[in-house]
Amino acid sequence: MKTSRRKFIQSASAAAVLATLPGSVLAQATAGKPLDILILGGTGFIGPHEINYARARGHKITMFNRGKTAPGMFPDVETLIGDRDNQLDALKGRNWDAVIDNSGFFPRHVRLSAELLHGHVDQYMFVSSISAYGEDLAVEDDEFSAPYAVMDDPTDESEHVYGPSYGARKALCEQEVTKVFGEKAVNVRPGIITGVGDPTERLRHWLRRMQAGNEILVPGQDDLPVQYIDAADMCGWMVRLLEGGSGSGPYNAVGAEEPYRARPLLEGLRDATGSKSKLTWIDWEWIRNQTSEDPNYGPWYGAGPLPFMQVNNGRAMATGLTFRPIADTAKDMIANLDRVPIPERRRSGFGLETEALLLKKWHEEKG
């Protein structure tokens, strides 16, 4: 009974958020040729953005998933039930124009789906990550010169999907798709995806703090770069890329035209949302001398300017990737902050009490 109720609440919440997604509004026009698109996944974070946008453009969608995450989200979309781990029978004997693989985390699973679908789909679009790049990534690298991340045992599946080998496994997944589909393989490498439905606090943390209107502790340097991309912008571009049929190889799906910088980004969001919050920058060295807590504020606060937040997106922009103002993204998200639960492992920032104590001590010391 508890499980059924939990699933009902999850589905109801997902449907409520789905109704507010901007994807269909951004579609603007129908495609010249309707496509039959298979989506592996579909009811997580980016899947609904893809589906709303594609359907608004006139495309037909089929989902393949386990039927466990928000199963009532798209009652009028065909859903094939199965599992990436050797339970692909529902896909056999069917043909689609393209497949978008949102749920590939282990290379063996991706190899199974790619091999089964080869000859039955024209294009295979795999959602990878900029984490697929190695630690020696340089700012001047592009999709073809940047080194892949590697792992000691490519067959190891014991680690959680978002564990330390996440990026190396994504790299291996890309390679499996390319082996099978060649020039018909499209590997999309997002950075920090945000927008309506974002299940992390990498942007929501700041929006929640701003909504409260209190003073906000911002750790780190105020000129650090960050590359957010709105899921609606990214997914719309992905669908349009499939419509053209000419997309091939890897694309860095990061935004916007230039990396944001911490201070103007947060100050701009505060002003755009009408918040009265004061932003107080405090360096990490001082903070760590006051507390043993070391919360996750996202990749742009703990270290110096990293190439991972300055990735070249010229190739994607040349094929039609565009960006809404991040203030519009923020306003859409604020309207739905209470509708999307945040898993405990994805929470970020100091608790309100700790933050208040740190701010008080900082002001006392600085006079």
Q: What is the pLDDT of residues 119-172, one digit of tens each?
A: 999 999 999 999 999 988 999 999 999 999 999 999 999 999 989 999 999 999
Query: For position 344, what pLDDT does the model report?
Result: 62
Q: Extract long-range pairs of 61-69: CB within 8 Å, 24+ residues apart.
A: 61/37, 62/36, 62/37, 62/38, 62/94, 62/96, 63/38, 63/39, 64/38, 64/39, 64/40, 64/90, 64/91, 65/40, 65/41, 65/103, 68/7, 69/10, 69/14, 69/43, 69/44
pLDDT above 70 (res 102): yes
Query: For position 10, what pLDDT does the model report?
Result: 47
pLDDT band at 274 (very low <50, low <70, confident <90, very high): very high
In the chain, the percentage of residues whose pLDDT exceeds 90 is 72
Query: For position 19, what pLDDT does the model report?
Result: 53
Query: For position 339, what pLDDT does the model report?
Result: 74
Q: Name the more confident of 81 and 304.
A: 81
Query: For position 224, what pLDDT does the model report?
Result: 87
Segment 286-307 mean pLDDT: 76
